[in-house]
Amino acid sequence: MRIILARQAGFCAGVKRAIDIAEKCCDQEHTFYSLGPLVNNDEVVRCLESRGIIPIKGLEQVNPPHRLIIRSHGASRDLLLEAQSKGIEIIDATCPLVKQVHELVASLRGEGYDIVIFGDINHPEVQGILGWCDNNALVINDVKQVSQIKPGQKIGIVSQTTKDENKFYELVDAIKLQAGVVKVCNTICAATKKRQQAARELAQEAELILVIGDRKSSNTTTLLRECQNTGVKSYQVQNANEIEPDWFEGVSTAGITAGASTPDWIIKEVMDRMTLLEENDNQEINEEIQTNEESFAHMEAEMADFTTPSRGDIINGKVIEVRDDEVMVDVGGKSEGIIPRRELSVQDIESARDLVAVGEEIEVMVLKWDDDGTILLSKKKVDSQKVMDNLEKYFNSNEVVEGTVTGSVKGGLLVDVGVVAFLPASHVEDGYVKNLDDYIGKDYKFKIIEFNRNKRRGSQVVLSRKELVAGEKAILKEAFWQNIEEGQTRKGKVKRIVDYGVFIDLGGYEGLLHVSELDHQRIDHPSSVVSEGEEIDVYILALDREKERVSLSRKQLIKSPWQVVLEKFNEGDIIEGKVVRLAPFGAFVEIEPGVDGLVHISHLANYRVEKPEDIVQPGQVINVKILSIDAEQKRIGLSIREAAADDERGDIDEYLDNQE
């Protein structure tokens, strides 16, 4: 009989880590307790107990200096706090993936979600998860229980890590029909999914499958059901003693798989027992034993501690799961690493799904291997290292690099050149920059003026535009003086505003627009007419090529108030004006900005007036009639009296017309 061992079987990384932690404790003098069975396998628990790891049911059985191991299934937050308050030293062997579920439900609870846990309510992992959301969650193990959810609820759903993924999504679909808002968090362990996939592949070759694992083990139960669903005859055994020879009558190929809490020695015993069942000649038996030994050796090598990557190591991995906030990567040796969203890219991204996909092979850097067993990885740092190699070449060869300004900090700007570089404020331009935020979001070229990848404080890459800007300006300046002439009209940008005028960037050179040349009328300050950054047309008033000075004018290009008046008004027109000042001989009335006309005292009313203030006051808006316009002397004669008379005649004419 040919025996095939599934490519994924036995201890997962979380269980193996818990066992390793416990075995290290066995070598110490202290008394250690585990809160409940360390893993769901009686034989493993008995083995550990014989070495001094005693399983207990409650904290009342532990007194300092005795120490407490938290099993791979995790524990509630309240229990951990209670243990700490009693002075009990805790050795936390919680599976890192289970810990992530704890953090996730606490976060969802804080965001106002009602928590739904897909799992077995009596399972220790589920009991621990409940303790991280204030025991305020609905535990569902069947689609029929979805009716307990109220219509319109805001639901956050997680799963016990050892459950069946297909059933999880069946449940999700049902909840979406019932609830209002649903946030789905697939927390099923990748190792569980791998074992199920390997079992399905095994079923394509085997006529019978043995699933090895404790009957209390949820993932083993799920694995058995997955095998049975393929249609292949499948049996679960806890050890070699439970094997029935009758199962293998007529079977030429048998398969073996094992749950995540099944140790390698039990798998080996089962394989040996199956080999001995074969009643062929000794040669065939020996060949079979040799084949099985090779299969087991291969599995044992996989299950053994692979070389633990150190901080800073760059390793290859395969993306096995992508969530919005993190990416799970298979880095070999049955271990998975986590890339937080912040470690995916130097740029801010809304979701990890925007950058990577399941099945993609990527290079990652090991940031650390936490005490809780989590391998924290970074894709950003690998990408950054490659970028740093290129930037070092640019620095050594004095080449130009391109980048995007992403933000401002004290003293300068941050620039994305593949890594975050620093651009000092004094190197943004070849002169003072008033508002650095104007540069954010824009692309520029830079020179690298400082490069130090070993620098611990401050930026490893420091940039400058100063030299490049100065060079560009020199080229533009030369072209400017070759083409500029007095009398030209040029478009320019307001660069700086001072009390005495405005400096205009003409594209290669700055000219002065004096305050007296801004407008035909007197102005209090240049800022009342133009603003920084505004583009305006200017007239080249004068050039001094030796001193490189350019005088500009704006008022040469706009109509004077008198030109407006001459085009707009005629003698005899009745118009509206505003009294601006009084004199003994009459009142001055503004009819256009910058143009005043005189209403002589004799034209203030149709009777003798002693003082103008008896009739009008400054600021008063009145109707006046234009009596005369003297363009040469720039004088306008106005009359309130005539305007009133004309209005009165108009009223009389309108009355007479109505009488007819």
Least confident of 100-109, 185-194, 563-572: 185-194
CB 128 within 8 A of CB 76: yes
Q: Does residue 117 register a pLDDT over 50?
A: yes
pLDDT at residue 484, as a whole number? 83
pLDDT at residue 478, as a whole number? 78
pLDDT at residue 302, as a whole number? 46
Q: Does residue 306 register a pLDDT over 60?
A: no
Least confident of 37-51, 300-314, 419-433: 300-314
* Alpha-carbon span 307 to 319, nearest angstrom: 20
Sign of CA dihedral 618, 624, 627, 631: positive
pLDDT at residue 374, as a whole number? 63
pLDDT tens, position by position, 209-255: 999 998 888 888 889 999 999 999 999 999 999 999 899 888 889 99
Dihedral angle of Cα 339, 342, 343, 344, to the nearest 10 degrees: 80
Cα distances from 9 to residues 21, 96, 144, 319, 588, in angstroms, run: 21, 20, 32, 20, 103
pLDDT at residue 318, as a whole number? 87
What average pLDDT score do residues 48-70 get? 84
Superfamily name with CATH number, domain 314-378: Nucleic acid-binding proteins (2.40.50.140)
Percent of the chain at pLDDT > 90 equals 30
pLDDT at residue 332, as a whole number? 65
CATH topology of domain 383-470: OB fold (Dihydrolipoamide Acetyltransferase, E2P) (2.40.50)
The domain limits of the chain are 96-188, 314-378, 383-470, 484-557, 561-657
CATH topology of domain 484-557: OB fold (Dihydrolipoamide Acetyltransferase, E2P) (2.40.50)
pLDDT tens, position by position, 401-425: 999 999 999 889 999 998 889 999 9
411: exposed, middle or buried (C-beta count within 10 Å: 0-12, 13-18, 19+)?
exposed
Confidence grade of residue 507 (pLDDT, cut at 50, 70, 90): confident
Q: What kind and span of H or E run contains 469?
A: helix 466-483
Which among 629, 632, 656, 628 has a CA at the least distance from the CA of 642? 628
Q: What is the DSSP string of 571-609?
A: TT-EEEEEEEEEETTEEEEEEETTEEEEEEGGGSSSS--
* Sequence-distant (≥ 6) Cβ neighbours of residue 432 within 8 angstroms: none
One of 2.40.10.220, 2.40.110.10, 2.30.30.90, 2.40.50.140 is the CATH number of 561-657, namely 2.40.50.140
pLDDT tens, position by position, 141-167: 988 899 899 888 999 999 998 888 889
What average pLDDT score do residues 44-67 get? 84
Sheet-wide strand order for 233-237: 2-5, 253-258, 208-212, 233-237
Whether residue 534 lies in the annotated active site: no
Angle at CA of residue 157, ends 152 and 162, nearest 5°: 155
CB atoms within 10 A of CB 192: 26
Q: What kind and span of H or E run contains 650?
A: helix 640-659
pLDDT at residue 60, as a whole number? 85
pLDDT at residue 291, as a whole number? 46
What average pLDDT score do residues 66-77 get? 88
pLDDT tens, position by position, 249-280: 888 899 999 988 888 888 888 888 887 776 44
- CATH number assigned to the domain covering 96-188: 3.40.1010.20
pLDDT tens, position by position, 308-348: 566 778 888 888 888 888 888 887 654 578 898 889 887 77
Confidence grade of residue 455 (pLDDT, cut at 50, 70, 90): confident
Q: Does residue 633 register a pLDDT over 60?
A: yes
CB 76 within 8 A of CB 47: no
Q: Does residue 515 register a pLDDT over 80?
A: yes
* Alpha-carbon span 67 to 189, nearest angstrom: 29
Tell me the one-letter amino acid at 236. Q
Q: Does residue 503 register a pLDDT over 70?
A: yes
* Alpha-carbon span 401 to 4, nearest angstrom: 57
What average pLDDT score do residues 632-650 get? 84
**498 or 219: which leads in pLDDT:** 498
To the nearest whole number, what is the mean pLDDT of the chain?
85
How many helices (H) and strands (E) the chain has is answered by 14, 32
Q: Token pair for residue 513?
A: 């627009």
pLDDT tens, position by position, 599-627: 999 999 988 989 999 999 999 999 999 99
Q: Please pick, among 111, 125, 350, 571, the residue that the annotation labels catalytic.
A: 125
* Alpha-carbon span 264 to 315, nearest angstrom: 27
What average pLDDT score do residues 488-515 get? 86
CB 1 within 8 A of CB 248: yes
pLDDT at residue 128, as a whole number? 93
One fold for 383-470 and 561-657 = yes
pLDDT at residue 281, as a whole number? 37
pLDDT at residue 44, as a whole number? 85
Which among 594, 595, 612 has a CA at the least distance from the CA of 603? 612
pLDDT at residue 659, as a whole number? 63
pLDDT at residue 446, as a whole number? 95
